[in-house]
Amino acid sequence: MTANHTVSDPLAAVIAYHQASKHRPDRYAPGPGGLDWTNQPDPFRRYVGAPRVELPLRADTLTLAFAALRQGQRPAPHPLTRDALAILLELALGLSAWKQQGGSRWALRCNPSSGNLHPTEGYLICPALPDLAAGVHHYHSHDHALERRAAPDSITWGSELQGGVVLALSSVHWREAWKYGLRAYRYCQHDCGHAIAAVAYAAAALGWQVRLLSHWGDEELAALLGLDRMADFAAAELEYPDVALWVGSAAPPTELSVQALSASLRFVGQPNRLSPSQVAWPGMDEVEHAARRPPEVVPPAFQTLDPSPLTAVDNPTAAATLIRQRRSAVAFDGVTSMSAERWFGLLDALLPRPKVPPLDAWPWSPRVHPLLFAHRIDGVSPGLYLLLRQAEALPRLRQALQNEWDWARVEQAPAHLPLYRLTPGDARNAARMVSCHQDIAADSCFAVGFLTEFAAPLQGAPWRYRELFWETGLLGQILYLEAEAAGLRGTGIGCFFDDVLHQWLGLKDLSWQSLYHFTVGGPIEDPRMQSLPPYAHRR
Ligand SMILES: Cc1cc2nc3c(=O)[nH]c(=O)nc-3n(C[C@H](O)[C@H](O)[C@H](O)COP(=O)(O)O)c2cc1C
């Protein structure tokens, strides 16, 4: 995080970035124009000189089925110990496999990432626990280890955490900018959203709750994580604070203060340098400054909406197994279909329910409404559909989407599922074209454009730009795991032609924007690709 500097009109700067980072059919957003492989960033941050503790690999000890977890069933909360936190980190941010093809080898993680570049870093803030010292620890996913980045001066430090910990996320923007240039800031936010959901699912599998600490400002969070220590980062790529998540067996204490936790910490270690050199993307710096969350933002009241219980799925796979087997499909077969019942169940999982992960960690009411390109749903006509995640948004959507749409409620869907048909018809070419001509959007069962209320939430609060992307990432993570549980596979789509979709829909202004795309279908595996276990190198 760079030293403070003011942006005269942060909202205008955010909007300018958003417009400049759009892909268009005749002009992609500014990018590096080729990959400089000699400068490829190291995907793993380390703090050289920080004391480290290797964590046990114990996720296999969890038996709860994903089918139960997705309906909000939790085991009795695990005691807060190093070993239980090790499971949290393994299932949220840990490695899930190594892939090998030809001379290349790369790691996959439980949290997906645009281009597998993994900008997201994790920090655990904990009081003294069995086998774990108090302080701020950086999670090193390659080795499944904690590096103690800061130790407190006082033995009572962290007592206000009262039976919980904070897991904070940050982003190394350079990791994404190396490949994607200006649009990379958006991808870092998507990835953060996926990671928030990954933490919430993993915590629920341990019987814990997660709450997003939405009132902690970015500069305060940077100080707690040591990301504002410019001397430490003099030779290393900067990391930007994203979000702090409370993890515990009950709700967070009301008086939890980031300033109090930041006091009396002694930092050790030097972040490693990730690339020989770094290419500047001034537009990314501008939006980073403009979209900083100020201190003491008034937190929203947590949601109370409680639709009917989520439809059950018949799959006995343990959550810990399913989470680690999640993969992005690189191609779909173009023939697999899914039943209407399963499709409705999967869409139903995108509605917030107070005790169901991961949306029970999300404090805001829904601002994202999935637009669905239905291709192969048995018993449902192909066409364009919309899932309304918040009833009050309907008049605003109908007013904004000015083309002639049916707005016909899908009668077959469960009564509580607000699914609307906009128009019937073959939507495969449209889905492919809008997704930068990627076949994965057409060969699947269905594709999604995450239509998001845009201009209104940003008024007076430009930092919400990031929250909007995070929400799409949370929904993407739900789709990844729901697809896996249905015997299918999902893939995030960050490459899409923003305004092509907006024009089709008849959107004339910035009241709504599609911020992320997704696709779910029957995958084609690449037989040349070899899969290796995630932590064989530790034995
Ligand atoms: C935000 C985001 C955007 C993505 N965009 C694309 C895309 O446009 N096209 C694509 O084929 N894959 C896309 N992916 C899939 C990633 O390439 C994939 O997550 C990454 O390679 C890691 O693999 P895994 O998901 O199997 O762990 C995206 C993933 C995320 C999280």
Provide block-wise average pLDDT over 10 residues at a time, the chain (539 residues): 67 98 98 95 98 98 97 97 98 98 95 98 96 97 98 93 95 98 98 98 98 95 98 98 97 89 96 96 97 88 72 95 98 98 97 94 96 98 97 96 96 96 98 98 98 97 98 98 98 98 97 98 94 93
Cα 492 to ligand 1 centroid, rounded to whole Å: 5
Pair 286, 382 in one domain = no
Which residues contact residue 527 at a Cβ distance below 8 angstroms, ignoring those fewer than 6 apart? none
Cα 416 to ligand 1 centroid, rounded to whole Å: 31
Q: Is 314 part of a structural domain of the chain?
A: no
Pair 280, 371 in one domain = no
Note whether 69 and 319 are within 8 A (CB).
yes
* Confidence (pLDDT) at 304: 61
Atom of ligand 1 nearest to the CA of 115: 17
* Confidence (pLDDT) at 3: 44
CB distance 194 to ligand 1 below 6 Å: yes
CB distance 438 to ligand 1 below 6 Å: yes
CB distance 151 to ligand 1 below 6 Å: no
Pair 285, 347 in one domain = no
* Confidence (pLDDT) at 5: 54
Cα 493 to ligand 1 centroid, rounded to whole Å: 7
* Confidence (pLDDT) at 6: 67
Pair 149, 285 in one domain = yes
Pair 279, 361 in one domain = no
Cα 68 to ligand 1 centroid, rounded to whole Å: 27
Pair 88, 226 in one domain = yes
Note whether 123 and 269 are within 8 A (CB).
no
Which residues contact residue 229 at a Cβ distance below 8 angstroms, ignoring those fewer than 6 apart? 267
Q: Domain holding 487: CATH number?
A: 3.40.109.10
CB distance 115 to ligand 1 below 6 Å: yes
CB distance 190 to ligand 1 below 6 Å: yes
Q: Give the global pTM.
A: 0.98
Number of neighbouring beta carbons within 10 Å of residue 449: 30
Pair 348, 427 in one domain = yes
Cα 350 to ligand 1 centroid, rounded to whole Å: 20
Note whether 39 and 134 are within 8 A (CB).
no
How many domains, the chain? 2
- Probe residue for ligand 1, chosen from 114, 326, 484 as the CB with the greatest number of ligand atoms within 8 Å: 114
Peptide bond just before 358 cis, omega within 30 deg: yes
Q: What residues make up the domain containing 245?
A: 10-290
Cα 507 to ligand 1 centroid, rounded to whole Å: 27
CB distance 493 to ligand 1 below 6 Å: yes
CB distance 328 to ligand 1 below 6 Å: yes
Pair 262, 381 in one domain = no
Q: Is 397 part of a structural domain of the chain?
A: yes
Q: Is 315 part of a structural domain of the chain?
A: no
Secondary structure (3-state) at 189: helix
Residue 514 CA, distance from chain mean position: 16
* Confidence (pLDDT) at 456: 97
CB distance 116 to ligand 1 below 6 Å: yes
CB distance 337 to ligand 1 below 6 Å: no
Cα 114 to ligand 1 centroid, rounded to whole Å: 4
* Confidence (pLDDT) at 306: 65
In 3D, which of 7, 3, 49, 19 has the Cα closest to residue 455? 19
